[in-house]
Amino acid sequence: MAESETPLLDELEKGEWPSFVKDMKQAAEKKPMAKDLLRQLELSYKEKIGHWKHGGIVGVKGYGGGVIGRYSDRPDLFPGVAHFHTMRVNHPTGWFYTTKALRTLCDIWDKHGSGLTNMHGSTGDIILLGTSTDHLQSCFDDLSDAGFDLGGSGSALRTPSACVGPARCEWACIDSLNICYDITMSFQDQLHRPMFPYKFKIKVSGCANDCVASIARSDFSIIGTWKGKIQIDQKEVQAYAASGLDVQAEVTDLCPTKCMTWDEKAKTLAIEDADCTRCMHCINMMPKALRQGKEKGATLLIGGKAPIVQGALLSTVIVPFMKLEPPYQELKDLILKILDWWDEHGKMRERVGELINRVGMRTFLKDIGLKPAPQMVKNPRTNPYVFFWPEEIKKEVK
Amino acid sequence: MSAETKGKVLEFFREKSRGDKKKYYVKEVVKGLPNEDRHAIQEAVKELLDEETLKYWSSGSTTYVMLAEFFPKE
């Protein structure tokens, strides 16, 4: 039996879990590029060192992003991966594809690249792994003809993403799909022509369950919410209790603001809606019994990011409630204002959340023209003057 | 955006690229031309990119701009 060329990688195929090595071997049967990729990876495992060089080329004509340049530092050994650029393709909002679109995408990538894909990258894009410089433009042209566009990379607006929203979810308070699509189309220049201090991500979630984790993974989060009373169907609440749900322990005791009371004797649930933070826990537990309030809109937050350069940040509320209806002008004006402020004051490689941490939320709100609101504060602070300017306090004393 | 701003941006790159450093953030250009409007500088950079006098260089996460003549050959 012939000896394997990749004994170390073969080890990764053992065990119960699916292995990327198996996928790469499958691709290597058709593509010499994928074969060289396996061989280079084997060398990396053997020498315990990476053999990629990153950076340089950014895209196709007229674009400043969408392609991440990657080169082998051993093109003499692995000519198939001398160039192995990644193409980021803007995914359809909510990741809805027809099988025809997927087949077209794969055919294009078989024609121009390694055939290897990553569905999807952490921002949500379709990641096409491995092509050479001379194929970039023709691949882009074919993608364009099929209705696809490149996504964002580098110091630009990254591809906006959204949850499946009203297409499949009864809890969507906003049309997350349409908002995401509208933002993508409205901010094409910011997406394709990098001019910012660093990356900027926008994510849209239909409700507080936040299925795209926008609060942790985007600089600007749009999260669907409601105003007014949670609608209660007491008969359905009683049905849940009768079916074994411990309403006290599993619903009301876990309410973060303790705004709910469960009367065990009368079997009725009461909600003090003014104290509710609309976290959705009770609605998740009893979807047949509780519905969101009737007036729908979104909470806007700023500053989320993963730990690069500085540590991870969760977003902070800046607009507790905004009604979102096409053409979303108020929302887009606010985003533009924030982008411009960050562009002016941000240091190189400083995310907007880090900038706000540096100059203070008070300065940010004043510069953007937003009024401080109680929803911006997670817990009451020991210093009540956090949102006041010193001159305002003096004026009051007089 | 005036032709004068475009000239100043180009001059910035020519002057600064004499040393070893060739890649610049757009913010560095803005900082280097304090009397020019930030938006006008950005427009000038875009125009110079369209003309291919300047080129983007990206690490994947961060984007720089440099004179096309210094863009690394593959």
pLDDT-derived band at A224, boundaries 50, 70, 90: very high
pLDDT, mean of residues A310-320: 92
What is the spatial distance between Cα A32 and Cα A80, in angstroms, rounded to a whole number?
6
Contact residues on chain A for B72, CB-CB shorter than 8 A: 56
Nearest chain B alpha carbon to A198: B62
Percentage with pLDDT > 70 across chain A:
96
Residues A174-203 have pLDDT tens digits of 999 999 999 999 999 999 999 999 999 999
Model confidence at A260: pLDDT above 90: yes
Model confidence at A307: pLDDT above 80: yes
A308 touches chain B (CB under 8 A): yes
Nearest chain B alpha carbon to A53: B59
The secondary structure of A249-317 as a DSSP string is: IIIGGG-TT--EEEETTTTEEEE-GGG-----HHHHH-TTTEE--SEEEEEEEE--B-SSSS--B--EE
pLDDT at A109: 97
Contacts of B34 (CB under 8 A, 6+ apart): none
Q: Which of A232-236, A283-287, B56-60 has the lowest mean pLDDT?
A: B56-60
For B61, the closest of A64, A197, A199 (CB atoms) is A199
Report the candidate in A214, A29, A171, A49 with the shortest Cα–Cα distance to residue A114. Answer: A29
B27 touches chain A (CB under 8 A): yes
Taking an 8 Å cut-off on Cβ atoms, the answer to whether A54 and B50 are in contact is: no
pLDDT at A78: 97
Contact residues on chain A for B58, CB-CB shorter than 8 A: 55-58, 64-65, 68-69, 153-155, 194
Taking an 8 Å cut-off on Cβ atoms, the answer to whether B58 and A199 are in contact is: no
pLDDT at B72: 87
Q: Which amino acid is at A180?
A: C
pLDDT-derived band at A379, boundaries 50, 70, 90: low
For A195, the closest of B42, B50, B58 (CB atoms) is B42
Instruction: Give me the CATH topology for the region B3-70.
Output: Arc Repressor Mutant, subunit A (1.10.10)
pLDDT, mean of residues A148-165: 97
Instruction: Report the predicted TM-score, pTM, of the whole model to 2 decimal places.
Output: 0.94
Contact of A175 with A88, CB cutoff 8 Å: no
Report the candidate in A288, A287, A261, A289 with the shortest Cα–Cα distance to residue A273. Answer: A261
pLDDT at A220: 98
Residues A14-45 have pLDDT tens digits of 989 899 999 999 999 999 999 999 999 999 99
For chain B, what is the mean pLDDT? 94
pLDDT at A64: 93
pLDDT, mean of residues A281-307: 96
B61 touches chain A (CB under 8 A): yes
pLDDT, mean of residues A229-239: 97
Domain locations along chain B: 3-70
pLDDT at A1: 53
- How close B57 gets to chain A, by Cα (Å)? 5
Nearest chain B alpha carbon to A342: B27
Nearest chain A alpha carbon to B23: A56
Directed axis angle between helix A352-359 and helix A361-368, to 10°?
110
Cα–Cα–Cα angle for A334, A372, A336, nearest 5°?
Answer: 10
Contact residues on chain B for A69, CB-CB shorter than 8 A: 58, 60
Residues B11-63 have pLDDT tens digits of 999 999 999 999 999 999 999 999 999 999 999 999 999 999 999 999 988 99
pLDDT, mean of residues A213-217: 96
pLDDT at B1: 62
For chain A, what is the mean pLDDT? 94
- How close A364 gets to chain B, by Cα (Å)? 20
pLDDT at A368: 97
Locate tokens 């794969």: which residue?
A106
